[in-house]
Every structure is written in C-alpha cells, then in structure tokens.
C-alpha cells in the first residue's frame, strides 16, 4: 500500500487515480482546499461532464435507431418488433433517469446531429435508404415512454 505522506496529491494521481479521488474527497470534506490538486480535479470534473453528456447522447441515438427500424424495416418487422420495442423502452428508461434540464437543452440543440448518426447506422444495418433526411421525431416523442410511431 502507498504511504500517502510520501506522495503529493499530484503525484498520487499518476500512480493510483482511485486513491487520488478518495484523498481529494477527504480534503474537500475537511475543507482543506489549499491542499487540493486543482489542475487534475478540474480535468476530472470536465471528463465526468463529458462522459455524462456522451451517455445521454448515446441513449438518444439508440432510441432513434430502434424507432427507425421499427417504423421502416418492414421485412424484419414481424420477427423483430417486440425486441425493438423493448429496446426503445429500456433506452428511454435509462435516458429519463439521467435527464436534467441541461441535458434536455443539449439534446434539443444537437438532435439533428444525433439523428444523422443514428440514420447512418440504420442504413448500414438494414441496407435501406428510405429514411427521412431530417429527424421525423421531436425530442418530446423520443422521451415519451408511451409514444411509438405506426409502421
């Protein structure tokens, strides 16, 4: 085990980032702000925010993918619609659990980009090119656990 007194917090970050987190939390709780490794703390907080934003974007993209498959891939509908519906429910549930007003605004602003990525994936998966150029769903529809398009 590391002897913490032999390491500065900044050095500890390079050796064991989980232990660095534990020590940083202790310092914050003890209001020992002058001992904090601010450079790495800021980087970790920025990374955490990016990870959370990426996760909600990925969940929304999954919802769109499965809605497009459900609505447009007619040859596979009978065989896969229950699976696609269950996936839509699962991804909506996860996304709604993470939703904040900040994430909602982010998703609203980036819906066109997220849709383009989802559409491209579904085009490759299905071999179809019949999907709308622009997102046919509103963010409210995408988040609504009871909403589903009719095929």
Dist. CA 123–CA 131, nearest whole Å: 8
pTM: 0.84
pLDDT tens per residue, the chain (151 residues)? Answer: 444 544 588 888 899 989 999 999 999 999 999 999 999 999 999 999 999 999 999 999 999 999 999 999 999 999 999 999 999 999 999 999 999 999 999 999 999 999 999 999 999 999 999 999 999 999 999 999 999 987 5
DSSP code string of 91-134: HHHHHHHH--HHHHHHHHHHHHHHHHHHHHHHHHHH----S-SS
């Amino acid at each position: 085990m590391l002897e913490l007194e032999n390491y500065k917090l900044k050095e500890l970050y390079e050796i064991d980032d989980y232990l660095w987190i534990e020590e940083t939390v202790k310092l914050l709780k003890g209001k020992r702000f002058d001992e904090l490794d601010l450079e790495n703390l800021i980087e970790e907080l920025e990374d955490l925010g990016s990870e959370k934003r990426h996760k909600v974007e990925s969940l929304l993209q999954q919802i769109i993918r499965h809605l497009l498959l459900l609505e447009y891939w007619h040859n596979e509908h009978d065989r896969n619609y229950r699976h696609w519906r269950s996936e839509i429910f699962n991804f909506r549930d996860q996304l709604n659990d993470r939703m904040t007003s900040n994430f909602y605004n982010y998703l609203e602003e980036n819906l066109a980009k997220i849709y383009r990525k989802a559409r491209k994936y579904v085009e490759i998966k299905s071999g179809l090119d019949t999907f709308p150029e622009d997102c046919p769903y509103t963010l409210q529809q995408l988040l609504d656990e009871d909403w589903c398009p009719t095929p």
